[in-house]
Amino acid sequence: MSRAQPLLPNPDVFIFDMDGVLAEVTASYRETIVSTVRHFTGRSVTNETIQAFKNAGGWNNDWELSHRLIADLGHQVTYQAVVDAFNRIFLGDGSTPGLIDRESWIPKPGLLETLAETYPLGIFTGRLRYELDVTLARFVPDLRFHPTITADDVVRPKPAPDGLHTIQRLFPRKTIWYFGDTVDDARSARDASVPFFGVASPDSLRRDELVSRLHEYGALRVIANINEIGCLLKETEASVA
């Protein structure tokens, strides 16, 4: 079934979500959720279960999601205990390395560097500042993103549009393209009236459901990988010509 493709507005600024867009996190954040739940319950949740929550929206915070999954398995633990265990597993504890080491960087070498010659690039993520800085310093120490909006910078996290409103104030009357991989990213963009582009990897679980939900929340296009950004730009050039 083909869907009517809306015309793309010419971009002035590119803003990226981090996890699932710039950083591959299946083996880091997603595995940390699984390990945290196992730590408290002795049971394993599947990645598919986690993706079902992500697709439903409202579960951008992995601490809250872990807490919920543990409760669903019949175990009552405090939220703070979940946060502490999650962070120990994710960041490591001095003797055991954290799962954050298993992240990989999705953009091909040169992709963002070339884009940055023409456009401002920024990040709007649900991560905390220190979690973002570790990954940027590791993979793109020489690339400047401005602004970087983290969970530390907003009163209301995604799906609220607050972070995008901050970015809009920095670039008045400019067209911002926001790239995200979850329903909460799409909702945030819709409520800020920012053009949104979904990213849904071909091997993501429940992909068809994700793609249709991203469209439902206003995604102008859904691409398989951020490395396809050049195709979107070609499309805007073709429509100008």
- Enumerate binding residues for Mg ion (CB under 5 A): 17, 19-20, 181
- CB of 39 or CB of 129, closer to Mg ion: 129
DSSP output for 5-63: PPPPPPPSEEEE-SBTTTEE-IIIIIHHHHHHHHHHHS----HHHHHHHHHHSS---HH
The residue among 40 and 145 lying less far from Mg ion, judged by its C-beta, is 145
186: helix, strand or coil: helix
Q: Please report how close the Cβ of residue 122 comes to Mg ion at its closest, in angstroms.
A: 15
Nearer to Mg ion, 20 or 163 (CB): 20
Q: Count the Cβ atoms, other than its own, within 10 Å of residue 22.
A: 25
Q: Which is nearer to Mg ion, 73 or 151 (CB)?
A: 151
Strand 13-16 relative to strand 121-124: parallel, antiparallel, unpaired?
Answer: parallel
Q: Least CB distance from residue 15 to Mg ion, whole Å?
A: 13
- C-alpha triplet 170, 19, 180: angle, nearest 5°: 55
Q: Is 79 exposed, middle or buried (0-12, 13-18, 19+ CB in 10 A)?
A: exposed
Q: 131 or 181: whose CB is closer to Mg ion?
A: 181
Cβ 132 to Mg ion shortest distance, Å:
12
CB of 182 to Mg ion, least distance (A): 5
Exposed (0-12), middle (13-18) or buried (19+): which is 103, by Cβ within 10 Å? buried
CB of 184 to Mg ion, least distance (A): 8
